[in-house]
Chain A
Amino acid sequence: MDAPSFLFIAYGFLTSLVFVLGMLLAFMPYLMRRQECFAVTIPAAAALDPYLRQLKRRFALIMGALTLVLFAIALLLLATGADTEWDGLDWLIPSADAVLLVAYYLLMLFFRRKVQAYKQEQGWSAASQRSSAIIGSEAVSQISLRWNLLYLLVMVATLIAGILCYPAMPAMIPMHIGFDGVVSDWMPKGPAVIAFPMVIEGFMGACFTLCHWSINRARKWSDPNAPATSALAYGLYARAWNIYLLAFGLLLSASIGTLFLLSALGIASLAVMGAVLFFIIIFMVAGAIGLSIVYGQAGSRVFKRMHAPKGMPEDDDEHWKGGIIYFNPDDASLFLPERFGIGWTLNWARPAAWALVVGFIILTAGFVGTIFILVG
C-alpha cells in the first residue's frame, strides 16, 4: 500500500465517521423509550402527540443539516488539502466530532425546555412513583463475566507467539507510522517487543471487562405498566450489547497482537495493520448503529406494538440534572440506562461512581506510563 492512498483512506474513514456519528445523533430522539422525550418523563401514550413529534422532527433536521455542513467541509478539505503538507484535517475531524456532540447536548437542552413547558401545560404528572422488578425466573440470562477470561488467553497466545517469533525479529522494530505512511518511530529489539502488545491487550481487556461488568450490574429496567415484556426487551438489549462488546473486544485485541508481531517480523507493514484495524472499526460502528436501531435505548424498539397507557407510573426528572446527569442518593443503582443516548450512565450520588472514575483514570495513566517505559 503506497503512502498517499493510505493517508486518503485514513482521512476518508475519519470523515465518514463524522457523518455517521452526526446522523446517529440526529435520530436519537426516535431511539429513546416512549416514556421519555428529550430527557423529560411523559406518559407513554404521549409519544404520538403531534407537537412532540414535531419537536423530534425539528431536532433531527437541525442535527442532520449541521452534520451535512461539517461533512461537506471535511470532504472539501479532503479533496484539496490531503495531498499537500497542510494538516487542516488533523484538527478539523476531532473538532467536527466535538461540535456535533456539543450541538447535540445544547439542542437537547433547548428542546427539553420546550417539552417541560408542554408537560406542565398538558398537566402531565405522576400520581405515583412506581417501579417493578422481576424475581426468580429470568427471561433472558446474562452473559457471564467469565467470558472475559478469553482476554487472558489472547495475552498468553501473544506471549507464546512472541517468544517463538523473537529469534526471527530484526534489530529495530517499527513502532509508529504517520498519516503519510512513513515509519516515524522505531524500537530496539528486546523483551519490550513482546510486552508492548500484551500491555495493549491487557488494557483493552480490562476496559471491555469493565463495560461488561457495569452492564450486568446495571439497573434492569422495566416499565411498571408492562413489567414482564419490558424487562424481557431490556434483557435482550443488554445481552446483545454484551455479546457485541465481547466479540469486538476479543477481535480487536487479538488482531492488535497478531498484526504487531507480523509487522515486527517484517511480514506486514504498520500501514496494513492500520488498514485492518480501520476495517474492524468500520464493522464495530456498523454493528453499534445496527444494535441501536434494532433494540433502541433499553430495548425500547424490541416490541413495536406495546400498549401505551395514558398515565405516568413514575417521574424521576428531579434526579436528572441537566437532563443527563443522574444524582439520586436514595437509589442503590450504580449504573442505570441513560436518558438521552444509547447506553448506561452512573448515579453520581454514589461514592462508588467517583471511585470508579478515579480508578479508571489511574488505570489509563498506568497504561500510558507503561507504554512510555516500554517504548522508551
Chain B
Amino acid sequence: MILNIDQRSEAPLYLQIRDQIIGAIARGELTPGDALPSVRSLASDLGINLHTVNKAYAVLRDEGYVLMRGRSGAYIADPCDDDRADTAQAALARMEDDLFELALAHRARGGSRGAFLECAAAQATRAYDILDRPEAARSTSMDKASKRGLRSAREESGGLLQGDASSTSIATGTAGTAKA
C-alpha cells in the first residue's frame, strides 16, 4: 500500500497514518501477518518525527489492528470476533440505507409498496436458493424474473403481496424437499 500524509492538513499526522492503515486492511491491501515497516524506517521515509509514528502504531495496537513484537516489529493482527460483530453491524446499517434508497427511488417512479416488497422478497429467495440449490435457483430465478417483468408491466397497482408471499413459500418449500 502507499501511505500518503500531509503535514499541513488539519488532521493529526498519527491519525492520518492510522486511518490509512485501517483502510488498507479493509480493502485487503494489508492482510493479517503482513509486516509494517519499523517505526524509525516509516518516520524516516515520511520525513516526520519518530514519536508520531510511534503514536500511530500504539493506537493501532490498542485498537487491535496491529501486534507489536519488540520495538521494531509490527504486524497486522488477525481480525477478532469483536471486529466481525462491528463489521456485521455496519453492514446491516449499510444494507438498510441501501434498501431505503431503493424504496424511495421506486416510490419516486410511481411504484407501489407491494411491488417493492414483492421484488425484494423475490431477490431474497433468489439469493438464498443460490446457497441451497445453485442450478435450480438460477433457472427458476431467471424465468421468475422474466415472469415478474411481464407481470409488473401488466399490473402496476398493488394487492400482490399475498401472491408474492405464496410464491416465496413455494420456492422455499421446493428447496426444502429437494434437500430432503
Please, what's the 1-or-0 string for A120-140, where 1 marks a CB less than 8 Å from any CB in chain B? Answer: 000000011111111110000
**A135-B36, A136-B30, A333-B44 are contacts. A129–B7 as well, Cβ < 8 Å?**
yes
The smallest C-beta distance from A225 to any residue of chain B, in angstroms, reads 10
Closest-CB distance, A50 to chain B (whole angstroms):
31
Known: A136-B30, A332-B48, A333-B44. A228 touches B2 (CB 8 A): yes
Q: Determine whether A334 belongs to the interface, using a CB cutoff of 8 Å to chain B.
A: yes
Decide yes or no whether A220 CB sits under 8 A from chain B: yes
Question: B5 and A131: CB pair below 8 A?
Answer: yes
CB within 8 Å of A: which of B40-93? 40-50, 53
Contacts of B159 in A (CB 8 A): none
Question: What are the residues of chain B within 8 A of A57 when measuring CB–CB?
Answer: none
User: For the complex, what is the distance from the CA of A220 to the CA of B40, rounded to whole Å?
Assistant: 12
Interfacial residues of chain B within 18-32, with CB under 8 A of chain A in the complex: 21, 24, 29-30
Q: Are A227 and B2 in contact (CB under 8 A)?
A: yes
**Cβ-defined contact, A127 with B8, below 8 A:** yes
Contact between chains at A135 and B48 (CB < 8 Å): no
Question: Which residues from chain A contact B42 at a C-beta distance below 8 Å?
Answer: 133, 135
How many A-B pairs have beta carbons closer than 8 Å: the answer is 83
Q: A136-B29, A136-B30 are in contact. Are A131 and B47 (CB under 8 A)?
A: yes
Q: How far is the CB of A31 from chain B (nearest CB, A)?
A: 22
The residue of chain A having its C-beta at the shortest distance from the C-beta of B34 within the complex is A136
B-side contacts of A217, CB under 8 Å: 41, 44
Interface contact A135-B30, CB-CB below 8 Å: yes
CB of A129 within 8 A of CB of B6, answer: yes
B50: min CB distance to chain A, Å: 5
State how many angstroms separate the Cβ of B125 from the closest Cβ of chain A: 42
Nearest residue in B to A313 (C-beta to C-beta)?
B6
Of residues 328 to 349 in A, which have CB atoms within 8 Å of B's CB atoms? 328, 330-334, 336
B6 CB, min distance to chain A CBs, angstroms:
5
Nearest chain B residue, comparing its CB with the CB of A135: B1
Q: Does B162 contact A (CB under 8 A)?
A: no
Once bound together, how far apart are the Cα atoms of A374 and B9, in whole Å? 60
Tell yes or no: B170 within 8 A of A by CB.
Answer: no
Q: What's the least CB distance linking B9 to chain A, in Å?
A: 7
- In the complex, the answer to whether A219 meets B47 with C-beta atoms within 8 Å is yes
Q: Assess whether B177 is interfacial by the CB under 8 Å rule.
A: no
What separation, in Å, do the CA atoms of A119 and B40 have in the docked complex?
Answer: 34
A220-B24 Cα distance, complex, nearest whole Å: 21
Tell me the nearest residue of chain A to B9, going by C-beta. Answer: A128
Residues on B with beta carbons closer than 8 Å to the beta carbon of A332: 40, 43-44, 47-50, 53
Tell which of B4, B9, B30 touches A227, judged by Cβ atoms closer than 8 Å: B4
Contacts of B47 in A (CB 8 A): 131, 219, 316, 328, 331-333, 336
Assess whether B3 is interfacial by the CB under 8 Å rule. Answer: yes
| B2–A132 touching, CB < 8 Å | yes
Q: Which chain A residue shows the least CB distance to B42?
A: A133
B134 touches A (CB below 8 Å): no
Most interface-central of A136, A222, A332 (chain B CB within 10 A): A332
Q: How far is the CB of A55 from chain B (nearest CB, A)?
A: 27
* B173 in contact (CB, < 8 A): no
**Cβ–Cβ contact B46 & A131, under 8 A:** yes
Please tell me if A224 contacts chain B, counting CB pairs below 8 Å.
Answer: yes
Q: A330 contacts which chain B residues (CB < 8 A)? A: 48-49
Residues of chain A with a CB closer than 8 A to B158's CB: none
Is B176 in contact with chain A by the CB < 8 A criterion? no
Pair B7/A133 contact, Cβ less than 8 Å? no
- Given A220-B45, A332-B48, is A128 in contact with B36 using a C-beta cutoff of 8 Å? no
Contact B45 A133 (CB under 8 A): yes
Give the CA-CA distance A336 to B40 in the complex, in Å: 13
- Contact assessment for A219 and B45 in the assembled complex, using a CB-CB cutoff below 8 Å: yes
Determine whether the beta carbon of B44 is less than 8 Å from that of A334. Answer: yes
Additional 14 contacts, C-beta under 8 A, given A136-B30, A332-B44, A336-B44:
A130-B7, A132-B3, A132-B4, A133-B45, A134-B1, A135-B2, A135-B30, A136-B34, A217-B44, A218-B44, A316-B47, A331-B48, A332-B48, A333-B44
List 15 A-B pairs, Cβ < 8 Å: A129-B6, A130-B6, A131-B5, A131-B45, A134-B1, A134-B2, A135-B2, A136-B1, A219-B45, A219-B47, A328-B47, A331-B49, A332-B50, A333-B44, A334-B44
Taking Cβ atoms with an 8 Å cutoff, the residues of B that contact A are: 1-9, 21, 24, 29-30, 34-37, 40-50, 53
